[in-house]
Chains A and B, each alone.
Chain A
Amino acid sequence: IPNSGHKYYLQFTTEDYESGENAGSCLATVLYSKTKSPPVVSIKCTRTKDQKQTQEEDNRLYQKIRRQTKPIIGNNIPDSYGNIEPALEPAWTLAVAGSSYIMWEKSTENLGYFMAQVKSVKQWMRKDDFIEFDYTVLLHEIPTQEIIPCHMRLTWLPGHPLKVKYFCASENQGLEDGSGMESGSAAGILHERGANF
């Protein structure tokens, strides 16, 4: 759009992160403006799974975590060989969800991310029903190929939006300017898939 920015029209399908099953499709527009950041997004998705099923899965995950008598603590998930200990899988799953929020906020027209690895996770036991985890996650940044460590604090209760607070190490050189520290706090973003972005 002359003198204004770039507008993208997207049509895409989504799949379950673990099973690869089709999870629905979306239509979206993304407007990167020359002056404003972040981009303006409008999106509409249709899900293949119904709410009830998703709720059940959320509850199962929640129960799995609550059943553990000791706080969940771990390093290098997956490990160097790509393995994830079954006991740490729920923590990894939540890290993926939380990281996707960080990546959503950090990505630009020219920078994209994947979650490369959970460097460390520590569960904070709470008196209420919420689950809380402290993470260091490593994000793989494209096309710079950098590995960005981010500190992430995540709070969750099924039926409530995932709460993510994060702080990523800064980029002090490279193709794009990234001076200064980034921090962000969020309330009410992800609610399983297809949330109200």
Chain B
Amino acid sequence: LIPDVQELVDQSMPRERSTHRQVPEGYVYTQYHPMEEIYQWMTQIQKSNSELVTQHYLGKTIENRTMYYLQISQPSDKTKKIIWMDCGIHAREWISPAFCQWFVKEILQNYKSDPKISRFLQNLDLYVLPVLNIDGYIYSWEKDRLWRKNRSPHMNGTCYGTDLNRNFNSSWGSIGVSYNCSSEIFCGSGPESEPETRAVAEFIKRKKSDILCYLTIHSYGQYILTPYGSTTKPPSNSEELMHVAEKAAAALMGKYGTSYEVGSTSLILYSNSGSSRDWAHMIGIPFSYTFELRDNGTHGFVLPSDQIQPTCEETM
């Protein structure tokens, strides 16, 4: 299975594009979409690909919006290992949900014609959560483009938002966080204090014995980050984690020459605790990665839509 995982993250863009009408006609993957449209897209995707895709309820956000994930699963009598990918944990990182949508589209458009993809799906199920922080994402569309956190109210509604990627139960609250609600890295009132965090954590806990790989997509910076952020002590399977990540970065660079740095967060970026990636690894998921997509700071969070396609293509 390990070579399979390597190949999944290495996967390069299929050369021929099939003309299967399996993706919603007219949905423009090279543009950013508001949440309403992403909800509609999920419904459509399941409808047009019902043999492969099912939409599932994950939980509710603090503002009571429904969180859905898509399960891409080829019917089979054997239980398959799972690859989980979530996007949009930080509201302002718009390229991230754009990538999740692109990823789903690519798989569905090419699974019959691309032998690599059809081989994965024989052995693996893909679970994709296109937008984790739905309330925050909507807020970044309507009110504040550079919002990061969720929208949970604190201090009698005078302060909003917990950084969901500091809220997981992985050395929670120990380093690289703030206990002050007005900070962008406020870790919340306790580990898993946020409904969005709980929704993801409870699901992953339930399925953890089958989950092979946990991927969480962010921007920007162009990194493939391995555990841990909360300590510089390397994870038990550090060599293997690095090896796979390095192969992925090389494959990515092969597409458009974009260079991604690979390494543990605490060593190449900065220390932080409570991240979903650290937590996933700590509960036993062997391959856990954070992807920080384009760019390197020139546009940062406001990545132009004409970069959606190359970013997504190289990351595939």
A and B held together in a complex: yes
A82 close to B270 (CB less than 8 A): no
Q: Report the minimal beta-carbon distance from A81 to chain B, rounded to whole angstroms.
A: 5
Of all chain A residues, the one with the shortest Cβ separation from B269 is A143
- Option from B32, B141, B178, B299 in Cβ contact (under 8 Å) with A78: B299
Give the bracket for the number of chain A residues in contact with chain B.
20 to 34
Determine if A182 is an interface residue (Cβ-Cβ < 8 Å). no
- Option from B31, B141, B183, B307 in Cβ contact (under 8 Å) with A173: B183
- The proximity string for A residues 26-51 relative to B, scoring 1 for CB distances below 8 Å and 0 otherwise, is 00000000000000000000000000
Q: Report the minimal beta-carbon distance from B54 to chain A, rounded to whole angstroms.
A: 32
**Residues of chain B from 297 to 316 with CB closer than 8 A to chain A in the complex:** 297-307
A79 close to B302 (CB less than 8 A): yes
Determine if A147 is an interface residue (Cβ-Cβ < 8 Å). yes
**Residues of chain B from 266 to 289 with CB closer than 8 A to chain A in the complex:** 269-272
Give the bracket for the number of chain B residues in contact with chain A.
20 to 34
A174 touching B180 in the complex, CB below 8 Å, given contacts A116-B146, A143-B272: yes
- Option from B31, B146, B269, B298 in Cβ contact (under 8 Å) with A17: B298
- Option from A81, A114, A146 in Cβ contact (under 8 Å) with B297: A114
A142–B297 Cα gap in the complex (Å)?
12
B304 close to A83 (CB less than 8 A): yes
- The proximity string for A residues 69-105 relative to B, scoring 1 for CB distances below 8 Å and 0 otherwise, is 0000000101111111000000000000000000000
| Sample (21) of A-B pairs whose CB atoms are under 8 Å apart | A18-B298, A76-B145, A78-B302, A78-B304, A79-B302, A80-B145, A80-B302, A81-B32, A82-B302, A82-B306, A82-B307, A115-B300, A116-B146, A143-B185, A144-B185, A145-B185, A146-B184, A147-B146, A174-B178, A175-B176, A175-B178
